[in-house]
Structures are given as structure tokens and as C-alpha cells.
Amino acid sequence: MADFTIKSEEINSVNVLSVGGYLDAHTAPQLEQAFDDLLNKKKFKVVVDFENLNYISSAGLGVFMAYIETMRENGGDIKFSNLKSDVYEIFDLLGFPVLYEFFADKEEAIKKFEEQE
């Protein structure tokens, strides 16, 4: 089974999900659960920190597509940070930079949320 880690922390009014390892069809339900937990707590501003993520499959990408609209409808968003170049290339090939904001680090992404308040 693929190794996948996820850690959630709240910084000011923003929730940071730090993901690591391999995000694929086997591990995507863990990420879905993390998003469901945030929705249940009415937390709609999310930064996903990819610093330790080595691989993402289409199933992993699909998780973000499934939750982005709900977050935005509730005044929030999902922003991405710290992507390794090969992981970013997958997002780029599928047109994600048109839909999502990408940042060099999580602090920059958090700051963007704070500027929008």
C-alpha cells in the first residue's frame, strides 16, 4: 500500500493540510475525509501544502475538483503551496493553474487569504 500522510493545522482563519507521500486511488479517501472534517466544522479557507508529496494520480486530483466549488460557495477557497516541479507539471497539464492559485510556500498562501478578508 502506498505511503500517504496528512496533517491538519489552523493558522489564523486558514486551515493548512500538509500532505506527503503518494496521493492515489488508495489514499485519496484519507484526503476526502480531511476535507469532509473541515466542511463539518464550517472551515472553508484551505491551503494544501505539498512540500512532502512525491506523487499524485488523477484520483488525487479529483479530490480537489470535488471540493473546490463547495469551498468557494461558502466564501473560501483551496490554494496550493510548495509543489515539487514534477507534481506541479501534472496540475499544469490538466489546466489547474487557471482554476487554483499556486504559491511558493504556505505562508504566502495564508497571507493571500488574509488580504482577501
pLDDT band at 2 (very low <50, low <70, confident <90, very high): low
- Mapped onto helix, strand or coil, the DSSP state of residue 74 is coil
pLDDT, position 117: 73
Residues of the domain holding 65: 4-116
Indicate if the pLDDT at residue 44 is higher than 80.
yes
Residue 36 and residue 71 in contact, taking contact as beta carbons nearer than 8 Å: no
- Model pTM? 0.95
What total number of domains does the chain contain? Answer: 1
pLDDT, position 66: 96
- The stretch 19-38 carries a mean pLDDT of 97
Domain containing residue 104: CATH number: 3.30.750.24
C-alpha cell at 74: 461558502
- The stretch 57-82 carries a mean pLDDT of 96
